[in-house]
Protein backbone atom coordinates (compact mmCIF):
# COMPACT_ATOMS: atom_id res chain seq x y z
CA UNK A 1 0.00 0.00 0.00
CA UNK A 2 1.39 3.36 -1.01
CA UNK A 3 1.32 5.92 1.80
CA UNK A 4 -0.54 9.14 1.02
CA UNK A 5 0.60 11.17 4.05
CA UNK A 6 3.82 11.46 6.01
CA UNK A 7 5.76 13.36 8.62
CA UNK A 8 9.16 14.69 7.64
CA UNK A 9 11.52 15.27 10.55
CA UNK A 10 14.42 17.68 10.80
CA UNK A 11 16.04 19.65 13.60
CA UNK A 12 17.76 22.99 14.12
CA UNK A 13 19.66 24.79 16.88
CA UNK A 14 19.30 28.45 15.91
CA UNK A 15 15.79 29.91 16.32
CA UNK A 16 16.18 32.32 13.39
CA UNK A 17 17.28 29.48 11.14
CA UNK A 18 14.31 27.40 12.25
CA UNK A 19 11.89 30.20 11.44
CA UNK A 20 13.41 30.52 7.94
CA UNK A 21 12.87 26.81 7.29
CA UNK A 22 9.32 26.84 8.68
CA UNK A 23 8.29 29.98 6.79
CA UNK A 24 9.76 28.70 3.51
CA UNK A 25 7.88 25.39 3.78
CA UNK A 26 4.56 26.97 4.74
CA UNK A 27 4.80 29.77 2.16
CA UNK A 28 5.42 27.20 -0.59
CA UNK A 29 2.49 25.13 0.77
CA UNK A 30 4.75 22.11 1.17
CA UNK A 31 3.37 21.46 4.66
CA UNK A 32 -0.07 21.65 6.21
CA UNK A 33 1.32 21.93 9.74
CA UNK A 34 4.73 22.12 11.36
CA UNK A 35 5.23 21.45 15.04
CA UNK A 36 8.37 22.08 17.08
CA UNK A 37 9.58 20.65 20.33
CA UNK A 38 12.79 21.09 22.34
CA UNK A 39 15.21 18.16 22.32
CA UNK A 40 18.76 17.35 23.36
CA UNK A 41 20.76 15.60 20.68
CA UNK A 42 23.78 13.41 21.34
CA UNK A 43 25.66 12.17 18.29
CA UNK A 44 28.97 11.31 16.65
CA UNK A 45 30.35 14.13 14.49
CA UNK A 46 33.81 14.42 12.95
CA UNK A 47 35.36 11.84 15.28
CA UNK A 48 33.87 13.23 18.50
CA UNK A 49 30.74 12.79 20.56
CA UNK A 50 28.72 16.00 20.38
CA UNK A 51 25.75 17.39 22.28
CA UNK A 52 23.36 20.16 21.25
CA UNK A 53 20.14 21.69 22.49
CA UNK A 54 17.93 21.71 19.41
CA UNK A 55 14.32 21.92 18.31
CA UNK A 56 12.73 19.09 16.36
CA UNK A 57 10.39 19.86 13.47
CA UNK A 58 7.48 17.57 12.63
CA UNK A 59 6.38 18.52 9.12
CA UNK A 60 2.96 17.13 8.13
CA UNK A 61 2.81 16.66 4.37
CA UNK A 62 2.51 14.13 1.54
CA UNK A 63 5.24 11.76 0.30
CA UNK A 64 4.78 13.17 -3.21
CA UNK A 65 6.20 16.47 -1.89
CA UNK A 66 9.26 14.93 -0.18
CA UNK A 67 11.79 16.02 -2.82
CA UNK A 68 10.58 19.64 -2.69
CA UNK A 69 10.54 19.63 1.12
CA UNK A 70 14.08 18.25 1.20
CA UNK A 71 15.25 20.82 -1.35
CA UNK A 72 13.66 23.66 0.65
CA UNK A 73 15.17 22.49 3.94
CA UNK A 74 18.63 22.18 2.37
CA UNK A 75 18.34 25.64 0.79
CA UNK A 76 17.66 27.26 4.19
CA UNK A 77 19.36 25.01 6.76
CA UNK A 78 22.49 26.18 8.55
CA UNK A 79 23.78 22.64 9.19
CA UNK A 80 26.33 21.00 6.93
CA UNK A 81 24.42 17.71 7.24
CA UNK A 82 20.87 18.16 8.54
CA UNK A 83 18.68 15.27 9.56
CA UNK A 84 15.87 14.92 7.00
CA UNK A 85 13.83 11.73 7.28
CA UNK A 86 10.36 10.76 6.18
CA UNK A 87 8.04 8.72 8.40
CA UNK A 88 4.88 7.31 6.77
CA UNK A 89 1.46 7.89 8.30
CA UNK A 90 -0.30 4.56 7.90
CA UNK A 91 -3.64 5.72 9.29
CA UNK A 92 -5.25 8.66 11.05
CA UNK A 93 -8.41 10.68 11.53
CA UNK A 94 -9.95 10.99 8.05
CA UNK A 95 -10.86 14.66 8.49
CA UNK A 96 -7.32 15.51 9.61
CA UNK A 97 -5.74 13.64 6.71
CA UNK A 98 -8.14 15.33 4.29
CA UNK A 99 -7.04 18.68 5.75
CA UNK A 100 -3.38 17.82 5.03
CA UNK A 101 -4.41 16.97 1.48
CA UNK A 102 -6.24 20.28 1.07
CA UNK A 103 -3.45 22.44 2.51
CA UNK A 104 -0.45 20.95 0.68
CA UNK A 105 0.03 21.74 -3.00
Q: Where are the beta strands (DSSP E) in the chain?
A: 5-12, 33-45, 48-61, 85-89
CA separation for the pair 32, 103 (Å, rounded):
5
What pTM does this model have? 0.92
User: Is the model's pLDDT at 1 over the cut of 90?
Assistant: no
CATH class (in words) of the domain with range 5-103 = alpha beta
CA separation for the pair 83, 87 (Å, rounded):
13
pLDDT digits (tens, 9 = 90+) for 54-99: 999 999 999 999 999 999 999 999 999 999 999 999 999 999 999 9
User: Is the model's pLDDT at 7 over the cut of 60?
Assistant: yes
- Domain extent listing, the chain: 5-103
Closest CA to 81 of 33, 44, 39, 35: 44
Amino acid sequence: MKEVYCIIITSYADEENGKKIINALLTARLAACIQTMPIQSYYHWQGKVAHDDERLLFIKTKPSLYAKVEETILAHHAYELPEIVQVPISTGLDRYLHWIDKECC
